[in-house]
Amino acid sequence: MISPRFLTGRRRLLQIGAAGVTGSVLPAAATAVPGPAVPRARSVLIVMLSGGPSQLDMLDPKPQAPAEIRGEFQSVSTTVPAVAVSEHLPRLAAGLDQWTILRSMAHREHNHLLATHIALTGRPTPIPRGGSDLDRVESRNDFPNFASAVDFVQPRQDGIPTGVSLPNYMIEGPLTWPGQHSGFLGAKHDPWQINHDPNDPAFRVDSLTLPADMSGNRLVSRRTLLQSLERGEAAAELPSEFRAFTDQQDVAFSLLTSARVADAFRIDRETEDCRVRYGRNKFGQSLLLARRLIEAGVPVVQATMGIVQTWDTHVDNWGRLKNQLLPWLDTGLEALMADLKSSGLLDQTLVIVMGEFGRTPRISTLPGQTVPGRDHWAHAYSGLFAGAGVRGGQVIGATDSSAAWPTTRSWSPADVGSTVFAALGVPSDAVVLDPLNRPNHLINGEVIESLYTGRDS
């Protein structure tokens, strides 16, 4: 039911070495730890709209554009003067004073897999020699995603995972989307993965429950015995696969002895009224569970709306948006923001809503189809940001009359990642070495200070 991808960290290193092209990781000498950065946030919630949501039909409408670009939806005014959004986002329109819309996000990749790696790591996807970017899937040569990088630089020792991703791993047939785990940092830094619908009445996390005949003291006793065996002379000769397994055992032990984590997953303890406010669907309940994980102190939570490519609206773009996707998003975000604000956690939580790219300005109909939609478009798309010092009620960036190209400076996924790292207090000079032993600064873009200052660049 649940497929945990365990993560932990036991040493504060800012560099690693990687052996060979397989991505197996060996620790290098520790470097001096720079002075602490000042965090803006305790947690980051990434609401991932997998597939690429349409900027024109959501956050950057162009009501004066021709019909073949404008689309079927009307736009509505918001609480921010002169700013409009889709008519099917009425709750967001009424609460836009809490959000910043970033309309000039952009990069170069129009392929879902490559773009997802960029969105979740801030890095171009490594392409193996002789390989094709069309079949590029998850690999241990990938760059670590945001949660994994934070876990590497700022490891925890309290049983709280650094990252949790839900409600499903992004897999479609033989394709596994890259950018979802720790890549060349090794499996021990993988986010903890939940693969079950929180709206299911049977939802539970069995891996956080001790067997009936296993007390907490007995578990500690067994763990102590295992550790003593691992410290024996033979331990140094164990293969890397076994060492990776023991890393995962460490995390399992920490999680099993952490009541805070177990309690966070007891979504059934929420009142039915609360659950209805979020929407009695997979996405709404995932946002509710994400809120509970943030309350438990998880630094990075990713809630994906849909399975994979849910927002990939080549066909029936407007029907899918108005009948399901936008109402679910609108309802869930309203409840999330209300609860974070009432608890005081909005001041400590950076909330980001984004996809891997946007949709084409021009409407098209795929061969063999009769209902039109929009294709992939990475040259200009929109995202939402709120909380942890972000100034609400503003728009950053602008696009041309077709929402096709930025007319102000563009912001890349590297800039989003740098903003995430800076918000969580990651030192500006934190470095990791990739599988080719090349140094990579984690903060590899520009922090989007306009989110906080209100002054568009």
Query: Quick one: pLDDT at residue 8?
Result: 30
- Rounded Cα distance, 287 and 227, in Å: 38
Query: Quick one: pLDDT at residue 227?
Result: 52
Superfamily of domain 16-453: Alkaline Phosphatase, subunit A (3.40.720.10)
Query: Quick one: pLDDT at residue 136?
Result: 80
Query: Quick one: pLDDT at residue 228?
Result: 59
* CA-wise closest residue to 361 among 116, 66, 113: 66
Element (H, E) at 274: helix 272-278
SS3 352: strand
352 forms bridges with which residues in the sheet? 46, 385
Query: Cα-Cα-Cα-Cα dihedral of 286, 288, 289, 293, to 10°?
Result: 130
- Rounded Cα distance, 178 and 133, in Å: 12
**With 0-12 CB in 10 A as exposed, 13-18 as middle and 19+ as buried, what is 227?**
middle
18 forms bridges with which residues in the sheet? 25
Structure pTM?
A: 0.84
Query: Quick one: pLDDT at residue 218?
Result: 52
Rounded alpha-carbon distances, angstroms, from residue 127 to 113, 117, 121, 201, 383: 11, 12, 15, 42, 27
Residue-level pLDDT, tens digit, the chain, 457 residues: 444 333 233 233 333 333 222 222 323 323 334 445 789 999 999 999 999 999 999 999 999 999 999 999 999 999 999 999 999 999 999 999 999 999 999 999 999 999 999 999 999 987 766 666 555 889 999 999 999 999 999 998 888 999 999 999 999 888 899 999 999 999 989 999 999 999 999 998 765 544 445 444 554 455 455 555 555 545 555 555 544 545 555 555 555 446 778 899 999 999 999 999 999 999 999 999 999 999 999 999 999 987 777 999 999 999 999 999 999 999 999 999 999 999 999 999 999 999 999 999 999 999 999 999 999 999 999 999 999 999 999 999 999 999 999 999 999 999 999 999 999 999 999 999 888 888 999 999 999 999 999 877 5
Query: Quick one: pLDDT at residue 5?
Result: 36
Query: Quick one: pLDDT at residue 126?
Result: 79
Query: Quick one: pLDDT at residue 131?
Result: 61
Give pLDDT tens digits for 320-358: 999 999 999 999 999 999 999 999 999 999 999 999 999
Query: Quick one: pLDDT at residue 32?
Result: 34
Query: Apex CA 416: angle with CA 411 and CA 420, to 5°?
Result: 155
DSSP letter (8 states) at residue 321:
I
Residue bearing tokens 């554009």:
65
